Amino acid sequence: MSYWSQMYRSSTPSPHLEVENGAIRFESLLSKELSEGDRKFAESLNQQLKKANKLSPKQVECLERMEDRYSAEAIAARSTWAKNYKAIHRPLAIIVAKYYITTNYFRDLALKIGTDENFVPTERQFLAMTENKYAKKAIMVATNPPPFPVGTLAKIRANINLVSSRRLHDQIGLVTANHATGLYASSTLLVNGDQVTLEDRCLKAPQRAKKK
């Protein structure tokens, strides 16, 4: 064998397999309510099987995965999940979606959850979105009562790392709104006639006047 033949050997085509009961399996699969992408892919595989009577091992694996995904058991499980999501889990998903819309993570999924009340994420998507440490923090912020409720007074901390504007340091303001979204809750205060929005960690309770 020449040097060039050794350097540029043609790749060996992957073996193809006969698909047992292929025609019946594809007829059964295509009779079901498939997603648009799955239907196109299944039809493509079916046409290839009709021409060559064989599929590659990878294609057979894809066929088997689709059969599992659209089995009676899997369809029933998705139906149960959809009912439970709408009845129980959607408020939690909305909380997390409001946070993720402001980030580069899960953004497309978050937009669907936040804008389409009929959209149901898969259980796997829901758990991935809500079970990580950032989501849990956003949930805690949204569900805990505000430390400085509307109508109370709060003092702005004199900490340059938290409050960049020195003129606000040690100022006392009236809380006019609470914002329980994101990783840190925030509040809007009326300070010397101006509306200022700061994270609650920038605030503290005013010291009470000492009794004489």
Residue 33 lies in a domain: yes
For residue 95, what are its two tokens? Answer: 């909380």
One domain, residues 55 and 78? no
Number of domains in the chain: 3
**What confidence score (pLDDT) does residue 17 get?**
80
Crossing angle of helices 123-130/133-143, nearest 10°?
80
Q: What percent of the chain has pLDDT over 90?
A: 81
Phi, psi of 31 (to 5 degrees): -80, -10
For residue 143, what are its two tokens? Answer: 């569900």
Does this model's pTM top 0.85? no
Identify the three-state secondary structure at position 203.
Answer: strand
Q: Which one, of 140, 112, 137, lies nearest residue 126 by Cα?
A: 112
One domain, residues 139 and 175? no
Residue 79: in which H helix or E strand, if any?
A: helix 72-84
**What confidence score (pLDDT) does residue 212 get?**
54
One domain, residues 65 and 81? no
48-88 confidence digits (pLDDT tens): 999 888 898 999 999 999 999 999 999 999 999 999 999 99
Residue 7 lies in a domain: no
- Sheet of 203-204: strand order equals 194-199, 186-191, 172-179, 153-156, 203-204
Domain of residue 187 covers 153-204
Contact 74, 80 (CB under 8 A): no
One domain, residues 126 and 103? yes
Q: Which one, of 37, 48, 109, lies nearest residue 70 by Cα?
A: 37
4-46 confidence digits (pLDDT tens): 455 555 555 567 788 888 899 999 999 999 999 999 999 999 9
Residue 4 lies in a domain: no
Residue 47 lies in a domain: yes
One domain, residues 48 and 109? no
Task: Among 37, 52, 70, give the residue marking a domain's end.
Answer: 70
Residue 85 lies in a domain: yes
133-154 confidence digits (pLDDT tens): 999 999 999 999 999 999 999 9
The CATH number given to whatever domain includes residue 186 is 2.30.30
Residue 55 lies in a domain: yes
One domain, residues 78 and 139? yes
One domain, residues 38 and 80? no
